[in-house]
Amino acid sequence: MTLPIFYILAMLSVFCALMVVVARKPVHSVLYLIACFFTIAGHYLMLNAQFLFAVHIIVYAGAIMVLFLFVIMLLNLNLESEPRKSVIARVAAVSTAGLLFLVLLAAVKSAEPVILDTSASGVGLVRHVGLKLYNEYMMPFEVSALLFLTAMVGAVKLGRKEATHS
CB 33 within 8 A of CB 20: yes
DSSP-derived secondary structure for 143-157: HHHHHHHHHHHHHHH
Cα–Cα–Cα angle for 77, 78, 80, nearest 5°? Answer: 125
Q: Which of 52, 51, 38 is nearest to 8 (CA)?
A: 38
Under rule CB under 8 A, residue 15 binds another protein: no
Q: Report how far residue 13's alpha carbon sits from residue 7's, in angstroms, rounded to the nearest whole number.
A: 10
Under rule CB under 8 A, residue 66 binds another protein: yes
Under rule CB under 8 A, residue 16 binds another protein: no
In the bound state with another protein, the residue whose beta carbon lies nearer, of 17 and 65, is: 65
Write the interaction track for another protein spanning residues 106-125; mark x where CB under 8 A is met and - where it is not. Answer: -------------------x
In the bound state with another protein, the residue whose beta carbon lies nearer, of 25 and 90, is: 25
DSSP-derived secondary structure for 25-60: SHHHHHHHHHHHHHHHHHHHHHTT-HHHHHHHIIII
Out of 3, 21, 74, 111, the only residue in the binding site for another protein (CB under 8 A) is: 74
Under rule CB under 8 A, residue 33 binds another protein: no
Under rule CB under 8 A, residue 104 binds another protein: no
Q: Report how far residue 124's alpha carbon sits from residue 50's, in angstroms, rounded to the nearest whole number.
A: 6
Under rule CB under 8 A, residue 75 binds another protein: no
In the bound state with another protein, the residue whose beta carbon lies nearer, of 73 and 91, is: 73
Binding site for another protein (CB under 8 A): 25, 27-28, 31, 34, 50-51, 53-55, 57-58, 61-63, 65-67, 69-70, 73-74, 125-126
